[in-house]
Structure 1
Amino acid sequence: MFKYLCVALALALGAEAYSSGAPESACKDMIPRHPVDAQKSPAPYVVTTSSKVVKAGEQIQVTVTGKLPSDTVRGLMMQARAGDKPVGTFTIDSTNKLVRLMKCDNNGDTVTHKKHDATDDKQSVTLTWTAPKNFNEIVKFRATIALNGAVFWVGVESAPVKITP
């Protein structure tokens, strides 16, 4: 019994360590450093975009949605990637209670969750992303999504988005 209590306490403390967002060490692999492994099952979330094509320097909306009402977003890390490199910038409204900007390579190239109450968890989260200027490539939005500190998925991707000059 004592062993199970220690494991439960370690999980709770480890999950709390990143309640204010992903650490910088997660920038490349997007693994949040929780004391448990990512889920192996298909994620109960989808990442969609408002357009499949965007002009360089213009904005699109990116949405993370749980497939069921119980599939809420507690934790999130997202980047638009050209290959393995985060590109473009996100814009977050100052009233957003769930996410904040993070710098991996450049200011605002990554979004992560911030400390919030469970009542602020959402089944759907929409973000605004601006494509880089002078850019002509394909990107995918890649996300790590946490249902809670012990249940999360890494590598949830959108369909490709073409950036045109």
Structure 2
Amino acid sequence: MWFPSFAMILVVVAYAEGYSVGAPESACKDMIPRHPVPPQKIASPYIITTSTKEVKAGSSMQVTISGKTANDTIRGIMLQARAGDKIVGTFKVDPNHPLAQTMNCGVDGDTVTHKKHEHKDDQQTVTFTWTPPADFNDIIKFRATIALNGAVFWVGEESAPIKVTQ
């Protein structure tokens, strides 16, 4: 009776460890991690906030993801800015950031993901700098997949809309 439960735990740990270096490229479009369990259906304990509701094309702004309580830490992440389904702009992440790095989902730096890190480096709040293209003029939303751990994650969390003007 205990063997199926034990086997499932091993599978989840193996898959979570497999993506401990960041989201797979196969998740670029749908932002669904390839964990062997489905995403959570309950409301997410994370919020996405921004430093402004309007930004000039080519100018930087801040985007923050926070857990609502101290227990709502971030183990894994995938963050993009989207105009509809199109990924736009680029992120700047300090190479020494304990949790995050950029990845290429079409353009180098258009996505933030987690990197291999110790559990002690899980964070309740992370902030990144995003810059829209210089010729961009549209409405975007930041969209994220956020993992508490390999078996508990939310897909498609969104910020309020941000207006990018010329």
* TM-score using structure 2 length: 0.98
Q: Percent of pairs identical after alignment?
A: 62
Count of equivalent residues: 165
Which residues in structure 2 correspond to 1:105-120 (within 5 Å)?
A: 105-120=106-121
Residue 94 of structure 1 deviates from its aligned partner by 1.7
Give the secondary-structure state (helix, strand or coil) at the position aligned to 1:71. coil
Structure 2 CA distance for aligned equivalents of residues 8 and 102 of structure 1:
29
Residue 8 of structure 1 deviates from its aligned partner by 1.2
Which residues in structure 2 correspond to 1:21-32 (within 5 Å)?
A: 21-32=22-33
Q: Structure 1: state its 5+ residue gaps.
A: none
Q: Which amino acid aligns with 2:17?
A: E
Q: Which amino acid aligns with 1:72?
A: T
- Does residue 9 of the first structure (1) align with residue 6 of the second (2)? no
Residue 95 of structure 1 deviates from its aligned partner by 1.5
Residue 128 of structure 1 deviates from its aligned partner by 0.4
RMSD between superposed Cα atoms in Å: 0.6
Give the secondary-structure state (helix, strand or coil) at the position aligned to 1:29. coil
Q: Which amino acid aligns with 1:123?
A: Q
Residue 134 of structure 1 deviates from its aligned partner by 0.8
Residue 27 of structure 1 deviates from its aligned partner by 0.3
Residue range with higher mean Cα deviation, 44-53 or 1-10 = 1-10
Q: Which amino acid aligns with 2:125?
A: S
- Does residue 103 of the first structure (1) align with residue 104 of the second (2)? yes
Residue 84 of structure 1 deviates from its aligned partner by 0.5
Structure 2 CA distance for aligned equivalents of residues 83 and 131 of structure 1:
14
Q: Which residue number in structure 2 is paired with residue 41 of structure 1?
A: 42
Residue 124 of structure 1 deviates from its aligned partner by 0.3
Residue 11 of structure 1 deviates from its aligned partner by 1.1
Structure 2 CA distance for aligned equivalents of residues 36 and 6 of structure 1:
13
Q: Which runs of 4+ in 1 moved over 3 A?
A: none
Q: Deviations over 1:1-60 (max 9, x none)?
A: 122211111111111110010000000000010110000011000000000000000000
Residue 72 of structure 1 deviates from its aligned partner by 0.4
Q: Structure 2: state its 5+ residue gaps.
A: none
Q: Deviations over 1:77-111 (max 9, x none)?
A: 00000110110000011220100110001110000
- Does residue 134 of the first structure (1) align with residue 147 of the second (2)? no
Structure 2 CA distance for aligned equivalents of residues 108 and 136 of structure 1:
20
Residue 131 of structure 1 deviates from its aligned partner by 1.1
Give the secondary-structure state (helix, strand or coil) at the position aligned to 2:108. coil
Give the secondary-structure state (helix, strand or coil) at the position aligned to 2:148. strand
